[in-house]
Structure formats: structure tokens, C-alpha cells
Amino acid sequence: MSLFSKTIVGLDIGSSSVKIVQLKPSGTQWQLMAMGMAEIPKESLELKNQDVQRAAVMDAIKRVFKESGIKSKKVATSLSGDSVIIRYVKLPFMTAEELKGAISKEAEQYIPLNIDQVVLDFQILGEAQEDGQKKLDVLLVAAKVDVVDQHLLMLKSTGLTPMVIDVDAFALQNAYEINRLEPSEETVALVNMGASLTTINILEGNNTRFTRDIPVAGNDFTKEIQKEFNLKFSEAEELKKSHGTISMEEDDFSLSTVSQKDDRVLRMSDVMTPVLNKLLGEIRRSFDYYETQARKKTVERVILLGGSARLKNVNRFLANKLGIPVEHFGAFRNIEANKNIDAEQLAEKEYHMGVCLGLALRQMES
């Protein structure tokens, strides 16, 4: 068997769509071999019936494999939101081997769940001093056993072989690092605005220092538009994607020109801006928390991605309010794409693909 047929593919099961990415090593870099994205119909998720929901997700998984032509069944997937608990803690100094044996005991006081009911993982981030004692900076990750079991069961019943279960925030970090051409010590915040969650990962150089999933994202914009215009969710979604924009005070002139033609643009902006302000408040709180922990370090730049980063002016709005540069991040900006991949499709989907690219990169470590 060739190396390529054994590759693990990244499969990001988001709340609005399923994404897939297959990479191939190419010299010291990677080549994008195939990708795809399949919507999960919102209506089926609103039925609150778990069997219907699972069937809708499984159907989207099947479609994304078909669309992308990917044959490998080995997948790296991820969890996010309430299903994972992430803690940055200081533990007594010991070797990684020792910590492996001691992790459940050490983690117990930090994880608000019965330790027997979670799957634990950890990463040593470095050494630290506390009260004159040498300590370890450790990243603890815990997921509920039954959530993991259900996730695995769903993948297996779709005919897939799960190889890796990651966390959205860490997959994003991988995707960002592979695209960064030069090493840097700067502190950046990755902000992935999806449909139901906005994931933040604050990095100092290559080290994660803070992560959080904020439950404010694209669906909240759509729901406001839905109410304002009395539309179905799918109609509001279309309107947002085609005409949605966040109006900026300094653009008054151009907006008044627009408003003569279409006051829907302004009304949409008016109902979406409070949602964005709420998200901004949560982003600020996260930065404040990091900055009080980090002493003297501040977040220098925001890297914006996720489908909702496509909403017009979101980057400008955040840059204005936060007072730091906010840069869009396309997942494949430094990854060569196979010539079979349509450039237009690639450009359109790139913002959605951060987590998925990070997952596809996990094959390197396995």
C-alpha cells in the first residue's frame, strides 16, 4: 500500500456543515489533494430528536466523502464547546512519564466531573516557578466518556475508522502554524467564528495560553435577521450571505447611497451589530483574563477565520474596537493545491477550513 492510501483525512463535523480535507506530504510541505464541504440542514437539527439529528449529520458525512472523492476511511475528528473541558494548571514538577501515571489524581481538583467519567489528556507546556518551587505548566484536556463514545459510535456506523480525536481550538493552532512562514514570538489570538461557536486560542509564539468557545456566532446573526424580516431560517441565512454587512460609522456616505437602493442592508446591520458587540465583549474578557495571567504581555494581533469571518466588515469592526490589527486567515494560503481543485471553490471555502486543515495535519504525528 502506498503512503497516500493510508493517509488520515481531517473531518470537521461542525454545527452547520461537515468539512473534509486530504493532504499529501510534498517535500517539506503539504499539498492539498482533495477537500469538500456539505451542509447539515438546519431544520433537521431543530427537531430536537437525537436520531433525526444524527441521521442528518451522517448523511452530510456521506455527501462530503462523495463530493470530494476521498476514499480513505481513516479520520481525525474533533470536539468543541461544552463537550470538552480545557484547563491551564500548575502541577508539581515531574517527568512526562511520571505525569502519565499521576494525571488522573492531579487532574481531579481541576475537572468539575467525576474523574472516572472523563477521558483525560495533557500536554506539558513548560516549567514554572510558584512560591519558590519548581512546577510544571500543564494543559489539561478532559472529555466526557459518554460524549466520546457516542461520537466514535456515529463515525463507526458511517463506515469510518476514527484515528484521532482532537479539539477545535488546537486544530486551529496547527493550521495556523503550518501556514506561518517565519517563526514568531508574538502573541496572537486565533478567532474562529463558526455557526454556533466562536473559538478563541491565544498563542504566545507556538504555545497555547488560553482557549475558550464562546456560544455567540453566525446563527445568532441569522436569527436576528429572521426576526427582523419574518423569514425562515434558511431565507435569513441566504440574505445574510448575499447582502449582510456591518455598517461602519466612517462609511456613512457610501451607506446612504446603498440605503436608497436597499434599506434591508441597513436594517440587517442594525440587528447584527448588537450580536457582534456581545461577541466583542466576550473576546475582550478573554484577552483581559490572558493579560492578567501573562504579566506584561498583551494580544498583539487577531487572526480571524471561520465561515462568519466572511461577513463584510467584521474584521474592520473588531480592529476598530480592539485597537489592534485583525487579519483574515485563509487556511490554504501557503499550501499548494492539487490542480484538480477548482480555485474558485477553494477561495470560497477557505475560511471554513481552519479546523479541518488542522485535523488533516494530524497524520504527521501518527
Ligand X SMILES: Nc1ncnc2c1ncn2[C@@H]1O[C@H](COP(=O)(O)OP(=O)(O)OP(=O)(O)O)[C@@H](O)[C@H]1O
Q: Which is nearer to Mg ion, 37 or 58 (CB)?
A: 37
> How many angstroms separate the Cα of 143 from the Cα of each of 120, 148, 165?
7, 7, 10
Q: Which of 38, 111, 169, 195 binds ligand X (CB under 6 A)?
A: 195
The H or E element containing residue 277 is: helix 263-294
Q: Which of 194, 218, 244, 358 binds Mg ion (CB under 5 A)?
A: 194
Based on the shown chain and the rule CB under 6 A, indicate whether residue 17 belongs to the binding site for ligand X.
yes
Based on the shown chain and the rule CB under 6 A, indicate whether residue 241 belongs to the binding site for ligand X.
yes
> How many angstroms separate the Cα of 226 from the Cα of each of 14, 70, 243, 307?
21, 36, 14, 19
200 forms bridges with which residues in the sheet?
Answer: 191, 212
> How many angstroms separate the Cα of 335 from the Cα of each of 170, 317, 332?
19, 29, 5
Taking the C-alpha atoms of residue 27 and residue 22, their distance in angstroms, rounded to an integer, is 16
Q: Which of residues 275-314 bind Mg ion (CB under 5 A)?
A: none
Based on the shown chain and the rule CB under 5 A, indicate whether residue 14 belongs to the binding site for Mg ion.
yes
Smallest distance from ligand X to CB 299, Å: 21
What's the maximum distance between 2 C-alpha atoms anywhere in the chain? 69
Residue 237 binds which entry of ligand X, Mg ion, none, CB below 5-8 Å type-dependent: ligand X
Q: Which of residues 308-337 bind ligand X (CB under 6 A)?
A: 308, 310-311
Phi first, then psi, for residue 131 (nearest 5°) are: 50, 45
Binding segment toward Mg ion, per CB under 5 A, in 13-21, 99-107, 171-179, 329-337: 13-21
Taking the C-alpha atoms of residue 39 and residue 34, their distance in angstroms, rounded to an integer, is 17
Q: Which of 10, 162, 306, 358 binds ligand X (CB under 6 A)?
A: 306
Smallest distance from ligand X to CB 294, Å: 27
Q: Which is nearer to Mg ion, 265 or 349 (CB)?
A: 349
Based on the shown chain and the rule CB under 6 A, indicate whether residue 244 belongs to the binding site for ligand X.
yes
Q: Which of residues 203-232 bind ligand X (CB under 6 A)?
A: 217-219, 222
Based on the shown chain and the rule CB under 6 A, indicate whether residue 16 belongs to the binding site for ligand X.
yes
> How many angstroms separate the Cα of 102 from the Cα of each of 94, 131, 219?
10, 22, 41
Based on the shown chain and the rule CB under 6 A, indicate whether residue 10 belongs to the binding site for ligand X.
no
Smallest distance from ligand X to CB 274, Å: 16
| Strand 74-79 to 17-26 pairing | unpaired
Q: Which three three-digit cell numbers place residue 242?
A: 448575499
Residues in touch with ligand X (CB under 6 A): 14-17, 194-197, 217-219, 222, 237, 240-241, 244, 306-308, 310-311, 352
Residues in touch with Mg ion (CB under 5 A): 14, 194
